[in-house]
Chain A
C-alpha cells in the first residue's frame, strides 16, 4: 500500500512538472504584459499601458488580422478539400491510388524552410509573386495533408455497411454523405480543421519567404518587431492570442470528443 501511495504521489508530481514545463513560460509572458517595466524587472507593478500601446500599433494589428483571415480561409479550404479527398480515397479504387496516398506524407516531413524556398521560386516563376495571396496558397498546400491524414484515420473506423444501409433505404449519394458519413467523420473534420488553423496561424518560415513589407502575417511581424527591439506590446498581443486560441480549443474539445466513440 505504501509503495502505491508513493507511486501515486510521484505520478501527480510528474503531471504538475509537465504542466509547469508547458505553461510556465506562457504564464510569465502573460504576467509581464501587465508589468510596468518593459525589461521584465520586479517588483511587479500592474499596468495596461502595453495593451493601450498595442491598440495604437497599426502595423501589428493589421498583421494580426491578416493572420486570422488567412488562417480562417486556409481552414475552410482545407477542411472542404481535405474531407472530399479523404472520402474519394475511401470510396473509390483507381489506378495509382496507393501512389497518391504515399505522396501525401512527404510534405509533412519536408522542412518548411525548403518548402518555403521552393514556393518562393515557383510563385515567382508562374507570376504569382509574393504577398497575402501567395501566403494563402502556401498555407493551404502545407495544411491539406494534415486534414487528409486526420479525416482518413477517422474514416477507417467507419463501417461501410452504414452507407449501404442508407442507400437501401432510398438515400441518394448526397443524402448518404450528408446524413450518415459526415456526421460520423465530423470529429475528424473538426480536428483536421484545427490542425489546418494551427499550421497556418503558427506558420512563420513559409510566411516569411512569401510576405512583403506591407503584406505580412503576425508571426513575421513579431519577428520583425523583436529584431528592431523588444517591446512588451509583443507580450500583450501574444497573451490575447493565447487566451483566444485556448478558449477556442477548449470549446471544441467540449463539443467534440476526439478519437473514440461517444
Chain B
C-alpha cells in the first residue's frame, strides 16, 4: 500500500492541453474521487497514474518512488475499467488468477489467493463460469477481484459503476467502499457522477479543462466551494454576482448579500455569492431586512416540482430564477404565482472571487 503524489503534471495531445500543471497528494489508504465533466482531464490523469501514458512534464510518485517513466506493467497497480475488460476466453477464476500467473506465482498459492479474492467480492462459487454468463454486477466484482488479488499498491477505477443501473449502482457503491476499507488500499476513482463522488470518497478533486479546480473532503467542497464551477458542479447552487463589499457583495440593484464564509476580497472587486437551495427558507408575507442579520429577498414562485420527501420551488427575482428546496413537513404548500420572501443566513453564503 502506498500514497500517490502527483506534482505539476502536464500532458498535451497536439494543441489540446489535457492536463495543465496538476498537483494532488493522495494519502495512503484514502478513497479519492476525481470528478469532472467529460473532457476535463480526469481520465487522462488516471492514465498517467496507471502508466498507460506518460506526462510531458511533472512528477508522479507511488509510495515515494518516482514512476512517471515506468510503464504500467511495472507499476504494481490494480485497475478496474469502465466496461470491466474481462478476458472472454478465460473462466472467472482464470481471469482473477491472470495477474498472479504472469508473475509466475506457484499454482497452489495462486489458487488460494484467487479463492480469497472471490470470497471477498462474494463470488466464491462462480469461479468456473465464463464472463459472458455473468450479470453486469457480477462482472464488476470479478474485475475488482482481478485488480486486487495481486496486492497492488494503489487501486484505480475508471467510471467503474457507469454501466450499471441505478439500484445496482448504489449496492456496488456500498460494496466497493466495504472492500476498500477491508483491505485499506489507496483508491482513486474517476467519475462524472457528483452523487457517487460525495457518498463514496474521503476526498474529491474537481477537474475542469485539465486543471484542478478544488480538492478536499466532500463536506468542505460542498460547504466552501472556491469557484462558481465547483459550487454548481458538486451539488446545486444559487449564484449571485455583484461587487465585493467588506463581508459580502452588493447586487446591481443595491441589495446587499452578506456572506459568512469564503474568500476575503477587497471591496469593489467583482465577486459572487453561492447559496445551496436547501439552505434557503421560503415564506409568504412582506419582506424586510431582518433584525437577525439574515439575507432577505422578495420574489415570486414561478414553478413548483413536488418530489415526495421534498419540493423544489423556482422563484423569480429581478430577472434571476432562484432554486429553493424545502423538506415536506406537511406544512402549507406555496402555489405558483405567489409572492414570497426568501431568507438565509450569512453563514450559508459563500463568497467567491470572480474568475
Contact = CB atoms under 8 A, between A and B. Distances in A.
A and B assemble together:
yes
Interface of A: 159, 161-162, 164-172, 175, 179-180, 183-184, 261
14 contacts: A159-B85, A161-B81, A161-B82, A161-B83, A164-B79, A168-B50, A168-B78, A168-B147, A169-B150, A170-B74, A179-B87, A179-B98, A183-B89, A184-B89
B318 interface: no
Given A164-B52, A164-B81, A261-B132, A171 B102 contact: yes
Nearest to B82: A161
A170 B88 contact: no
Given A159-B83, A161-B81, A175-B102, A168 B89 contact: no
Contacts, number: 68
B83 A166 contact: no
Contacts of A171: 73, 98-99, 102
A151 to B, nearest CB: 16
Contact of A165 (B76, B79, B132, B150): B79
A171 B81 CA distance: 16
Contacts of A159: 83, 85
B87 A162 contact: yes
Contact of B98 (A166, A172, A183): A166
A170 B76 contact: yes
Interface residues of B, number: 27
The 9 closest A-B pairs by CB, nearest first: A169-B99, A161-B85, A165-B85, A183-B89, A168-B79, A171-B102, A167-B73, A167-B72, A175-B102
Contacts of A179: 87, 98, 102
Contacts of A170: 73-74, 76, 99, 102-103, 150
Contacts of A180: 87, 89
A15 to B, nearest CB: 31
Contacts of A175: 102
Contacts of B99: 169-171
With most chain B CB atoms within 10 A of its CB, the pick from A159, A169, A179 is A169
Main secondary structure of the interface of A (DSSP, over half): helix
With most chain B CB atoms within 10 A of its CB, the pick from A164, A166, A170 is A170
B224 interface: no
A166 B99 CA distance: 8
Nearest to A159: B85
Contacts of A183: 89
A170 B150 CA distance: 9
Contact of A169 (B52, B82, B83, B146): B146
B81 A172 contact: no
B76 A166 contact: no
A168 B146 CA distance: 10
A172 B104 CA distance: 12
Contacts of B86: 165
Contact of B102 (A161, A162, A169, A261): A169
A169 B98 contact: yes
A168 B102 contact: no
A39 to B, nearest CB: 55
A121 B89 CA distance: 47
Interface in B54-85: 71-74, 76-79, 81-83, 85
B85 A162 contact: yes
Contacts of B85: 159, 161-162, 164-165
B86 to A, nearest CB: 8
Contacts of B146: 165, 169
Given A171-B98, A171-B102, A175-B102, A166 B87 contact: yes
B90 to A, nearest CB: 8
A175 B85 CA distance: 16
